[in-house]
Amino acid sequence: MISKIARSFRRDFKDANFLEIVKGSATTFAVRLMGLVAGYAFTFIISRYYGSEVMGAHTLSITVLMMFSVLGRLGMDSLLVRHFAQDHAINRWDRILEVYKKTLMVVVPFGLCLSVVLFFTSGLIATYIFKKPLLEPYFRIISFAVLPMAMRFINSECYRGFRMNKEYAYSQNVSYFLYSAVILGVMTVFSQHSWLPNIAFTISLILLMLSSSFLILKRIKSNTKQASNELLIPEMVKNAVPMLLANSMLLVAGWINTIMLGIWSTESDVGIYSVVLKISTFSAFVLMSINSVSAPRFAQLHAKGDHEGLKKYTAHTAKIIFFSSIPIFLGIVILRDWLLSLFGDEFIIGSMALLITMLGQLFNVFAGSVGQFLYMTGKQHIFRNIILTSTVINIAVCAIMIPLYGLIGSAIAGMVFMAAWNLMSMIYIKRNFKIRTYYWPF
């Protein structure tokens, strides 16, 4: 069997598409690794100098921020990467400029409105949803980051549409954590006020929004000064809304465990669970790196009607994901206690939760790039329905397991959710496209 796999790899390395995926994802992975270090540095500073309770309060703040910011994007980020990928391939810079400008015309005012809403409802959210009034100032501070966080995603997708993989990975994974860690590190020298992590995080997102918007407009305008006028904003929003629903449900489902844990348990448990999620996510780094390369390619091949090319390209991505992710997965499982201890002895009690969460990540890695495949082939409605179904399952399991088992219950619900949406997506693609997104070595 090993010799058969080796022969298969030798054939693959003669394929230009295979090499494109390997080179592009390797570069992206290296940049994402920098982001992992920056993210761990930021988490380390909070957990070591501020404690698990502040870590929990910060995590709940980011959860609320992510929910508001995904709504603020209105799904325009997913629509934008598809337009950019297709128009960039045919050198339609005028339409790229039009799409970007009209995206800003929608996202900026809506994001500002949501920021105001969060600022003035912070007390209600803290008191009546989380039943923790002390969270109000954390939510008020993070409300200033709603538009910057939305623009972080918008601008990152521009890079991906241009197939600027290093810039995409840096914007998505490195920049805001790096800025946050540096700003918080400096602040911590002078004070250890519990609000500082949120303040540092907000400042970093504002800096990222300003710098990335400037760079993207500069790149577009270096190729054209005139925007086309072919697209209607209402039509763009109409096409983007299904992606918003899928994105928001995926986000809510991914964070619902943290929210419900915050309602039924302590800030300390939330802080430990956030570290568990951060460590477990590293096993999917290869998948995320390949997604940043493969998504525009999926869109281009589908737009050309090249089914065989799409099938072959998907098979390549599945194979690389499988063989690259399994060693990382095993390493985290074996070293989980030591990894948790790096954040402080109080985090070691999350060992079993991390093991359970890793089982969910195994399904994620095995299924392959299912979400990106469905988005880029115009099946965002199907993905929305899959996520909706999985979210209902997740909420039900959370409601049963978290009151009984706390941290462990949240991890179990997360594992079930991860398995559900990945398996359903994988089966749908196999049945309807006759394409296998997963790699089966036997």
**In the predicted model, is pLDDT for residue 96 greater than 90?**
no
The answer to whether 179 touches 207, Cβ cutoff 8 Å, is yes
Token reading at 84: 């950019």
Q: What is the pLDDT of residue 217?
A: 84
Q: What is the pLDDT of residue 13?
A: 47
Alpha-helical segments (H) within 282-306:
285-304
Least confident of 57-66, 257-266, 399-408: 257-266
Please compute the mean of the pLDDT values over residues 184-192 and round it to a whole number.
89
**CA–CA distance, 315 with 177 (Å, rounded to integer):** 33
The answer to whether 353 touches 216, Cβ cutoff 8 Å, is no
User: Tokens 């997708």 map to which residue?
Assistant: 157
**In the predicted model, is pLDDT for residue 184 greater than 60?**
yes
Amino acid type, 384: R
What's the whole-model pTM score? Answer: 0.65
Beta strands in 300-425 (DSSP E): none
**CA–CA distance, 217 with 112 (Å, rounded to integer):** 21
- pLDDT tens track for 323-363: 777 888 888 889 888 888 887 777 888 889 888 988 888 88
Q: How confident is the model at residue 112 (pLDDT cuts 50, 70, 90)?
A: very high
Winning range, highest mean pLDDT, from 168-172, 253-257, 400-404: 400-404
Q: Would you call 435 helix, strand, or coil by DSSP? A: coil
Q: What is the pLDDT of residue 22?
A: 55
Least confident of 8-22, 115-129, 368-382, 396-410: 8-22
- pLDDT tens track for 288-298: 666 666 666 77
Alpha-carbon Rg for the chain, nearest whole angstrom, is 21
**In the predicted model, is pLDDT for residue 16 greater than 60?**
no
Average pLDDT, the chain: 79
- pLDDT tens track for 405-421: 888 888 898 889 988 88
Q: What percent of the chain has pLDDT over 70?
A: 82
User: Tokens 């802080």 map to which residue?
Assistant: 271
Least confident of 103-107, 180-184, 273-277: 273-277
Please compute the mean of the pLDDT values over residues 32-54 and round it to a whole number.
79
Please compute the mean of the pLDDT values over residues 17-46 and round it to a whole number.
68
Q: How confident is the model at residue 137 (pLDDT cuts 50, 70, 90)?
A: very high
The answer to whether 31 touches 166, Cβ cutoff 8 Å, is yes
**In the predicted model, is pLDDT for residue 117 greater than 90?**
yes
Least confident of 14-18, 90-94, 358-362: 14-18
Q: How confident is the model at residue 426 (pLDDT cuts 50, 70, 90)?
A: confident
Q: How confident is the model at residue 20 (pLDDT cuts 50, 70, 90)?
A: low
Residue 104: count of CB within 10 angstroms of its CB:
16
- Alpha carbon distances (Å) from 240 to 70, 72, 149, 230, 236: 12, 12, 18, 16, 6
User: Tokens 């920049």 map to which residue?
Assistant: 175
**In the predicted model, is pLDDT for residue 157 greater than 90?**
no
- pLDDT tens track for 372-411: 778 777 777 788 788 888 888 888 988 888 888 888 888 8
Q: What percent of the chain has pLDDT over 90?
A: 11
